[in-house]
Structure 1
């Protein structure tokens, strides 16, 4: 049940730990020893680290929830013009992308998973803060762990408020069942997000050992995005500039754009923060993301989620990202298929099985090896995202100045494209930035915020739904910016108010 009041028992809440500790000298991943933790047994630095690792574990939620299995991609990019489902029209995601939201539970998947992360973060913050300082190697270690927990709670609320608007603001761990909390205002949620992320900024290094660990750059980036949602362009600029000035991250240029998404490159400097998988087994410590983005007869993907042909047609000739987004693909049988003719979409293979160059090298039927298990990450913040936000922010505040051009041209040049033409007006430059972000970041969950930030969400999506030729195109309204509060939550919590979208 997706109850805000959760289970009152601490022991099951603190889970069996099976996740990551990025503590090795080569910045790779190591498995944490499995074990039960309870309030009385949290005594050592290792226990504190395990508590925080358990929060990270919640980002995959068993491999099928939150950032795993396409869940966040469906609920963000899935209702925009950079993400399309082909195949079975009876799937729930089909109703989601067509804005047929009569089912109150159409967006229920992230709710419980995200609050699980929040409650784990609350427990970690309480218990680690209460531990004696002498338990830790030094004060910086304790502060770093508290900073990581704060970052993860801030990220969780950032995701919740983006999907549902104002939500119950729960800042203490659940110790007993009780009446569900009422919704806090959107502004109050953002105040807490800013507090958590600023605390993380104060206590984390710019690089946290691996992009699977919270770090200062990631906190600056998510904070900038939270500020942009509130129209605070100047404050967002400060945070984006801090990432760039740090020099801690850069664009991946050692291989093709597709290779950035290989398992072997999951720790690359371009990836500022991502959800990492150990690929340990089908049900533990892996991410089933890879099953949901490509067709079965290409690489054993379950679904046919890809890029709309309308966006594909805007990609310039010579763009190296065409290696990732393609309409004609080879099949197991040795022939080729046209994805547009077959599924009315273009394949987006950022998360395809063939990117598993560690857990399942090879092509064709070799994709069955270690089926559905991978060490692939789900990027939440990349440096190209930061550069394109830089271009957007500079243009908004100062027009298309040299800094704005430099930022967007770095991304274009990496893709093998020339610089944008000089002399663009402000609105023309905005269009160029949004197009670049759509192509560069498709299926990574940023398009909805981009459209809303520029006040073109309703008009863009209304026209897009009409262009798709759906049987019952919807006129998109401001009410569509927020998904319905899950019916299960409304039924369980008498203090929970619905969203306008619950009345669709």
Structure 2
């Protein structure tokens, strides 16, 4: 399918004033009165919400650098040293409150939320949407609720207790105390319920934008998290696994897997496929910065940085469980490349077995690697896949295993059939073995797609320690000259620290 090139229009933050560090004033392009006066202006204003989510400090770069680097799966390539600052702290699971990526990601997420708040506060749901414009307006409002829920879901998982802002920010309400995680989850579910009432279903929505089913997928993820998290959640006696199943089944069968796994990561044919449930759109007006993060230096004619590299045990694990899975392996890992400055081939692990230096001891993520070696710019137009159908199928497999409804293996089989594989033996060794196998399957299918930080912690501290941290620290090929040692303290590794600037400017919180 051809790349969907949708110019995202600039958005006015309208009445945002003198905010704390978590929110910055944006220049007003439309007056508050006119920004939502009709469906055309409202569409432009909603485009500004998407712009915030896809911007450099959110999904365009900093959010990814923060969450990938702090997931336990990556090292930073800055200065090509495992003693560089980001490897000593971020990638060792000891993120610092004043680190720029921590500060900027926090601020941009709240900026996106405030744009949602402004949109919701300045529009009215039309109860009798008898014409297309009225239905479109309701859909836009629903998308604002969806994006607010989506962003709070990121916040609560990353930082735990955070300020809950559901009104447009003014100079009078900037100081805000933290809310409990239970209160935040309650608000997320309320926003999801509202979005599901308003948004178009798949096939009715605008090209390149999420449909009602994307909200259901978010809902399923929320309930899965509530079922397993160490954090406080509302109504702990409820069967969250059943609720997750009900939400996920609303999506099942509405999308399909792209036949070629590797083609998902093609800039032209991989955008907005039938597998896409929620993608952030990038184009010649709003382009991504993934090349800087994921493409090795000198791999193209342009200025690439290779900021993120994957720990060696990941590809070893993949190869040991699925030794013939060449399709996903080639679509996930870059283990060697031609250097464009000297036309020499550069091996990376495991092609380079010695692991003697940072430049070759790790491999790179193929999914957002710049495939055009002749490119001279540090960006491209590849969309970011936030949700895709294969993830939904793996979620249903995990949920069904918890419910023991007899459906679990079928969903895994659907995913593996695309790449010519069958479920590994552990799937047939009981509920506990299936649970472990499916959590590893997320890695083999979805590595580097924005879920690693969350999936690694979703089943609690013990899972994170025993299945991510200790296997890395005790890795048979661990090399103290290139690898980082991951922190093990629960208080340090399970959440990010509240940014220093937020503590300094928000009188209602102090840690």
Q: How would you bin the TM-score normalised by the shorter chain?
A: 0.7 to 0.9
**For the aligned residues, what is the CA RMSD?**
2.7
Give SS of 1:230's match: helix
Q: How does 1:323-402 map to 2 (within 5 A)?
A: 323-324=330-331, 325-332=333-340, 333-340=342-349, 341=355, 342-354=359-371, 363-364=372-373, 366-368=374-376, 371-398=377-404, 401=406
- Report the CA distance between 1:134 and its aligned residue: 9.4
- Report the CA distance between 1:435 and its aligned residue: 1.6
- Report the CA distance between 1:133 and its aligned residue: 8.4
Give SS of 1:84's match: strand
Give SS of 1:228's match: helix
- Report the CA distance between 1:279 and its aligned residue: 2.4
> Counterparts of 1:158 and 1:145 in 2: how far apart (Å)?
20
Matched, 1:101 2:95: yes
- Report the CA distance between 1:59 and its aligned residue: 0.9
> Counterparts of 1:37 and 1:259 in 2: how far apart (Å)?
37
For 1:240-288, what per-residue CA distance to the aligned partner results, in whole angstroms no more than 9, with x for missing partners?
Answer: 11100xx3211111x34244443332111211002111222xxxx2221
Q: How does 1:10-89 map to 2 (within 5 A)?
A: 15=27, 36-42=29-35, 43-61=37-55, 64-69=56-61, 71-86=62-77, 87-89=80-82
Contact 1:168-1:181 at 8 Å conserved across structures = yes
How many residues are treated as equivalent by the alignment? 450
> Counterparts of 2:262 and 2:106 in 1: how far apart (Å)?
33
- Report the CA distance between 1:166 and its aligned residue: 1.6
- Report the CA distance between 1:179 and its aligned residue: 4.7
- Report the CA distance between 1:418 and its aligned residue: 2.4
Picking from 210, 214, 235, the partner of 1:214 is 210
Contact 1:221-1:239 at 8 Å conserved across structures = yes
Of 49-58 and 308-317, deviating more is 308-317
Matched, 1:230 2:231: no
Assess, with a 3 A threshold, how the Cα gap between structure 1 residues 97 and 160 changes in structure 2: closer, same or farther.
same
Contact 2:119-2:144 at 8 Å conserved across structures = yes
TM-score w.r.t. structure 1 length? Answer: 0.82
Q: Which residue of 2 aligns with 1:475?
A: 488
Contact 1:60-1:275 at 8 Å conserved across structures = yes
Q: Which residue of 2 aligns with 1:312?
A: 315
Matched, 1:459 2:472: no
> Counterparts of 1:491 and 1:265 in 2: how far apart (Å)?
44
Q: Which residue of 2 aligns with 1:302?
A: 305
Contact 1:277-1:287 at 8 Å conserved across structures = yes
Unaligned runs of 5+ in 2: 1-14, 228-239, 350-354
Contact 2:70-2:95 at 8 Å conserved across structures = no
Give SS of 1:367's match: coil
Contact 1:73-1:443 at 8 Å conserved across structures = no
Give SS of 1:109's match: helix
TM-score w.r.t. structure 2 length? Answer: 0.81
> Counterparts of 2:120 and 2:414 in 1: how far apart (Å)?
39
> Counterparts of 2:135 and 2:309 in 1: how far apart (Å)?
44
> Counterparts of 1:230 and 1:132 in 2: how far apart (Å)?
32
For 1:19-49, what per-residue CA distance to the aligned partner results, in whole angstroms no more than 9, with x for missing partners?
Answer: xxxxxxxxxxxxxxxxx21112232221111
Assess, with a 3 A threshold, how the Cα gap between structure 1 residues 290 and 15 changes in structure 2: closer, same or farther.
farther
Give SS of 1:59's match: helix
Q: Which residue of 2 aligns with 1:24?
A: none
- Report the CA distance between 1:184 and its aligned residue: 0.8
> Counterparts of 1:66 and 1:113 in 2: how far apart (Å)?
6
Give SS of 1:125's match: helix
> Counterparts of 2:305 and 2:126 in 1: how far apart (Å)?
46
